[in-house]
Structure 1
Amino acid sequence: MTSPLALALALPGEGLEESVLAAFERTRGFDVRRRCLELEDLLGLAQSGQLDVALIAGTVLRWDGDVVARLQTCGVCVIALVADQSQEQRFRQWGVDAVMTIQMSAFDADEVITEVTSVVTQTRSRKDRHPHSFAHDVSSGIAGESVAQTQDPFAPPAVDKPQAKVMTVWGPTGAPGRSTTAVGVASALAQRDHRVLLIDADPYGGALALMLGRREPDIPGLASACRLAHHGRLTPTQLMGLVHHVEPGLDLMTGLLRADRWPELRPAALEQVWSLARDLWDVVVIDVGFCLEEDEELSYDSMVPRRNATTISALATADHIVAVGSMDAIGLARLVRGLDDLKQVVGREPSVVVANRGMGRSRQVAVQRQVKEILRETGHDVPAMVLPFDREACSEALHAGRSLIRVAPQSALAKNLHLLARTLVSHLGGEQGVELGDRTALGRLRRLSA
């Protein structure tokens, strides 16, 4: 015999809780565990594992994307009852499992029960097939027609294009050149007629704004986008208004200039930013921090913000990971240990390993083979590439506030960054704009590192 679903009602002040409660209490398939007047009650019940379904409504409680994500992380199916279009838009952006539009003048609790049962069945079936997917695209009309999903009237016209690929540039501690590599790859891709968004997502303090000549003290960027997403107000137009055009085809979303503001980068909000960025650009390049550790003192409490969650979120959403290490004994040792941690955290190897600050061109192939051998001996059979050290070109680019690709296009470092970009483009699976000759870039890199 199937046990009844544990249900919690969070409908204070909406004038419908009594009707819904009475209807569910006479239904065999549900067990109403609690009527929650505070968010803490609802979250505590979910964390204890005693809740299957949460029926929520309105604006009396402090709903936001984090609350919805926390409930879903605990395996709770979240269903929202809304009365107007603005509430529907917010709950949809927060990713609830279903939104039901109700009219108090013609409210039918039995229809709510029917729809809740249907949504729970569909959601559980999909979660069994895709356990990491919580979003549910169900809109039900209760006692009236459902409100259509709200569209941003000022959004760019929709085009039939594949979702952008996300490339996350990561590297271990010790300043191995993550940001230089991220800027170089993004600029090289922009020169190949891709619309590229470069995001600074380093929770320990970003550098991309200064590197690309944006020296204003408090310019909006990723933190502002996360705040809007957290409150369910992030639209395509607003996201595009938070980026800065730095080069033809290249836009920049700045990060945290003050490291103590890292709690503003909430994982649930970041997921919305990544998803929306995929829809608006061709390629998204994310520069992240070095640390992959979880705070063991806080690991028992899934509700506490974690500083490294930003880096882990960007790595988890990435289609391709570029791992950057410094080309010296200490840097390579840190890189190898970091690759072990990376595989443990995200469950896969990077698409390519970049050893930065390498030798001159005459020894590059030999050094690249040595790096490949070190990686293979330590259990990491991935393509490897060595970027030459060019202090003069890097200094010139930093002083100019522009990418090295633009400032010193003939330098050995710029040419190798172009090769790295072509290698990553070849991973994109034949996107428009990829030239035939570029499809051999990955093979060329593998031959060099064989």
Structure 2
Amino acid sequence: MAAVGVVVAVMGPEEARVVAEIEAHPGLAVVRRCADLAEAVGAAKAGLGAVVIVSDQPHLDGDALAAIRGAGVRVLGVASPDAARLASLGVPVPSGPLAEAVLAAIERPAPELIAPPALGGGVVVAVWGTGGAPGRTTVAVTLATEAARSGVSTLLVDLDTYGASVATAWGLADETPGVAAVVRAAARGEDPSAVLARHTVTVAPSLTVLTGLTRAARWPEITRAGLERLWPALRAAAELIVVDLAAPAEDGGPYAGTAPHRDTATVATLDEADTVIAVGGAEPHQLVRLVHALLDREGPPPVVAVNRIRASVAGARPEDAIAATLGRHAGITEVWPLPWDQRACDAAVRDGRTLTEVAPRSPLVRAIAAMGAAVLASARASRGVSVPMPD
């Protein structure tokens, strides 16, 4: 019977002990001693071993472990000063003979990444929609602001991996680490709640913000494993979590394998959200995009909001015309019309302030607030969570 191949990715003096113990067992063989974790991932994908033994080290996180396990390879850990982090990542550290633990690991299913316990019951509302800047961020920021004004503790999260702009809407410095630091720390097994508390910014009473990527090129830092560990902490941080998303939602990349994918944040949030608000523009080409997005989307139907409604692009009764169009082509029975308030929107963009700050009585602000109240009521009822509602 051929010996079982073992890949060793252990840093420091412990490596020699691990190699000696594995080689001393007649049924095991060390097939690769890795200089770093990337080499171990490559060895696992190449099918060089059945088990990878790791120690705590740089770049050891949920994504690296998912890549190893995705290749059908088991993972074991060796004791280190921070063995608790290995445990939080779902890496068992044997207390007995290592060789016996390797053989036992082959016989049992590989453990999954251990998620933190469900710490809170906050409602997650994803603001999604079409490309072409239909006003997703405007809706997300205004919805969060109005909910906070009503006394609902609210967390606004920027997970747009193409063009994060929540920080700009609030006039915040875009150098803050924000969501990248939080997701990265969560993937490494750090306490997500503690990391979140360090990186959120309080912008108004009852309202905190987790800013987005400082550069769009940093999208690979928003990983699936980090987000999975972060959701319970986000739900514990506030009664309402509003997430601003990018438009694309290609679901083949994030869940078909372990390779990074730019739409991971969008797809994962759409799956996690209690309610999805799909935002489109009132212009004819934007309505076509919205119809396509709604027809392509799987899962429960979203709340549909059409922004920038005005008679000049949709006729004398634009709300009725748009509702009829979406009903006929996408089967939508209810549409939330958001009127065009160019003066207030221009002032908000120019001054780096929110719509609520520059025009609290704007018809657009009132329409978004009304939609938010209805959305929260529905989400609260579906989850059985007691969340104070705006008046």
TM-score range, shorter chain: 0.7 to 0.9
Change in CA separation of 1:263 and 1:108 when aligned onto 2, cut-off 3 Å: closer
Tell me what 1:339 maps to.
294
1:277 aligns with 2:266: no
Contact 2:120 2:237 in 1 (8 A): no
CA distance in 1, matches of 2:177, 2:307: 31
Q: 1:112 aligns with which of 101, 114, 118?
A: 101
Contact 2:380 2:387 in 1 (8 A): no
1:432 aligns with 2:386: yes
Contact 1:169 1:286 in 2 (8 A): yes
Contact 2:162 2:246 in 1 (8 A): yes
Q: CA deviation at 1:350?
A: 4.1
Contact 2:7 2:53 in 1 (8 A): yes
Which structure 1 residue ranges, 5 or more long, are not aligned? 124-133, 138-148, 150-157, 439-450
Contact 1:322 1:350 in 2 (8 A): no
Q: 1:243 aligns with which of 166, 176, 200?
A: 200
Letter matched to residue 287 of structure 2:
L
Q: CA deviation at 1:8?
A: 4.1
Q: 1:411 aligns with which of 340, 362, 373?
A: 362
Tell me what 1:135 maps to.
113
Tell me what 2:93 maps to.
100
CA distance in 1, matches of 2:190, 2:182: 9
Whose relative contact order is higher, 1 or 2, with alpha carbons under 8 Å and at least 6 apart? 2
Q: 2:64 aligns with which of 67, 74, 84?
A: 67
Q: CA deviation at 1:234?
A: 5.1
Q: 1:402 aligns with which of 335, 353, 357?
A: 353
Aligned length: 380
SS in 2 for 1:378: helix
Structure 1 stretch 218-227 or stretch 401-410: which is displaced more? 401-410
Change in CA separation of 1:217 and 1:286 when aligned onto 2, cut-off 3 Å: closer
Change in CA separation of 1:75 and 1:382 when aligned onto 2, cut-off 3 Å: farther
Q: 1:43 aligns with which of 41, 44, 50?
A: 41
Change in CA separation of 1:58 and 1:385 when aligned onto 2, cut-off 3 Å: same
Superposed CA deviations along residues 362-401 of structure 1, whole A, max 9, x for unmatched, are x999644544443343344464211111112223333454
Change in CA separation of 1:115 and 1:380 when aligned onto 2, cut-off 3 Å: farther
Q: CA deviation at 1:255?
A: 1.3
Tell me what 2:222 maps to.
265
Tell me what 1:192 maps to.
150
Q: CA deviation at 1:321?
A: 1.4
Q: 2:83 aligns with which of 73, 78, 87?
A: 87
SS in 2 for 1:99: coil
1:165 aligns with 2:130: no
Q: CA deviation at 1:294?
A: 7.8
Tell me what 2:273 maps to.
318
**TM-score with structure 2 setting the length:** 0.81
Change in CA separation of 1:109 and 1:254 when aligned onto 2, cut-off 3 Å: closer
Tell me what 1:142 maps to.
none
Letter matched to residue 330 of structure 1:
H
CA distance in 2, matches of 1:6, 1:167: 48
Q: 1:16 aligns with which of 13, 18, 26?
A: 18
Identity of aligned residues (%): 27
Q: 2:182 aligns with which of 202, 225, 232?
A: 225
Q: CA deviation at 1:327?
A: 0.7
Tell me what 2:307 maps to.
356
Contact 1:323 1:350 in 2 (8 A): no
CA distance in 2, matches of 1:258, 1:267: 19
Change in CA separation of 1:234 and 1:390 when aligned onto 2, cut-off 3 Å: same
Structure 1 stretch 390-399 or stretch 175-184: which is displaced more? 390-399
CA distance in 2, matches of 1:195, 1:227: 25
Contact 1:185 1:417 in 2 (8 A): yes
Which structure 2 residue ranges, 5 or more long, are not aligned? none
Tell me what 2:135 maps to.
177
Q: CA deviation at 1:167?
A: 1.6
CA distance in 1, matches of 2:201, 2:161: 20
Q: 2:247 aligns with which of 265, 290, 298?
A: 290
Change in CA separation of 1:60 and 1:382 when aligned onto 2, cut-off 3 Å: same
Contact 1:172 1:338 in 2 (8 A): yes
Superposed CA deviations along residues 25-82 of structure 1, whole A, max 9, x for unmatched, are 55xxxx879445254554345446787x644231467523321122344455544333
CA distance in 2, matches of 1:272, 1:194: 24
CA distance in 2, matches of 1:266, 1:280: 20
Change in CA separation of 1:382 and 1:265 when aligned onto 2, cut-off 3 Å: farther
